[in-house]
């Protein structure tokens, strides 16, 4: 299966009654709906609060290179929540490897509050930002691991991993050697380049099997995405890092 590039004509920014939406909670809700995501009121309020913090701290902490409100909503918030459609039930104990400014972890946690999630990010400025978000939004069941994830540093027992556009899959898998349980799953959020990566990936060499491939486009956009799901089948391999 591959990406379908038909019917992808759009304006630079979505227009409503001939106008761009203004950065507001109402505008956020309108854009999320436009991109196929429906949010409950409490979730919307927290996502808007997160957005305000992202904008407030972005200039001095370099959290995201995206500037336009519409683009941030499309490529961060909608992108990180649309994957719910492909996962009926998330693992209860997860880590987000390479979380950066909280993507996909924060939006994913907001729409799945039952998940116990650890955001893994080694850069000090982003560690500070993530901790501020958790505190100010009053989020429970979420914390920050402020170190690089390796087979030695990450030893807590987990049954799920998510990572968005971080590194090659074959580089991430060895990092999970001493943390992800057998039967646990890794969810890789990827872009169009994943086609080439899949051609050379040999998950069995790392003690995994491929259990899901979902190719899609963010609704009302030209942004191709893929969700690749691997399941751990062996307790130990020789590829740990």
Q: Is 200 exposed, middle or buried (0-12, 13-18, 19+ CB in 10 A)?
A: exposed
SS3 content of the chain, % helix, strand, coil (to 5): 35, 20, 40
The answer to the question of residue 1 being in a domain is: no
CATH of the domain at 94: 3.40.50.150
**Residue 69: closest CA among 94, 88, 47:** 47
Give residue 59's pLDDT: 85
pLDDT of amino acid 3: 52
Domain span at 113? 25-232
The answer as to whether 148 is a domain residue is: yes
Pairing mode, strands 93-97 and 158-164: parallel
Bridge partners for 208 per DSSP: 232
Looking at the structure of the chain, the number of domains it has is 1
User: Helix 41-61 and helix 124-137: axis angle, to 10°?
Assistant: 150
19 part of a folded domain: no
- What pLDDT is recorded for position 230? 99
Helix axes 41-61, 25-34, angle to 10 degrees: 100
Residue 102 main-chain phi, psi, to 5 deg: 110, 25
DSSP letter (8 states) at residue 16: B
**Residue 88 within a domain:** yes
Q: What is the pLDDT along the chain (241 residues), one digit of tens a residue?
A: 455 544 444 447 898 988 899 999 999 999 999 999 999 999 999 999 999 999 999 988 889 999 999 999 999 999 999 999 999 999 999 999 999 999 999 999 999 999 999 999 999 999 999 999 999 999 999 999 999 999 999 999 999 999 999 999 999 999 999 999 999 999 999 999 999 999 999 999 999 999 999 999 999 999 999 999 999 999 866 565 5
For residue 149, being part of any structural domain is answered with yes
């Amino acid at each position: 299966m591959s990406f379908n590039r038909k019917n992808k004509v759009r304006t630079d920014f979505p227009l409503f009654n001939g106008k761009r939406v203004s950065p507001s909670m109402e505008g956020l809700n309108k854009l999320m709906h436009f991109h196929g995501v429906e949010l409950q009121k409490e979730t919307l309020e927290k996502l808007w609060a997160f957005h305000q913090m992202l904008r407030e701290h972005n200039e001095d902490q370099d959290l995201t290179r995206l500037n336009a409100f519409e683009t941030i909503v499309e490529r961060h918030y909608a992108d990180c929540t649309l994957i719910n459609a492909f996962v009926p039930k998330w693992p209860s104990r997860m880590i987000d490897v390479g979380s950066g400014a909280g993507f996909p972890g924060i939006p994913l946690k907001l729409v799945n509050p039952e998940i116990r999630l650890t955001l893994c990010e080694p850069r000090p400025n982003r560690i500070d930002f993530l901790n501020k978000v958790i505190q100010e939004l009053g989020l429970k069941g979420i914390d920050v691991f402020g170190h690089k994830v390796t087979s030695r540093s990450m030893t807590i027992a987990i049954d799920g991993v998510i990572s968005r556009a971080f590194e090659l899959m074959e580089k991430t898998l060895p990092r999970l050697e001493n943390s992800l349980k057998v039967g646990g799953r890794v969810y890789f959020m990827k872009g169009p380049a994943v086609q080439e990566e899949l051609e050379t990936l040999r998950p069995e060499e790392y003690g995994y099997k491929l259990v899901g491939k979902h190719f899609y486009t963010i609704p009302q956009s030209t942004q191709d995405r893929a969700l690749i799901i691997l399941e751990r089948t062996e307790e130990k391999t020789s590829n740990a890092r």
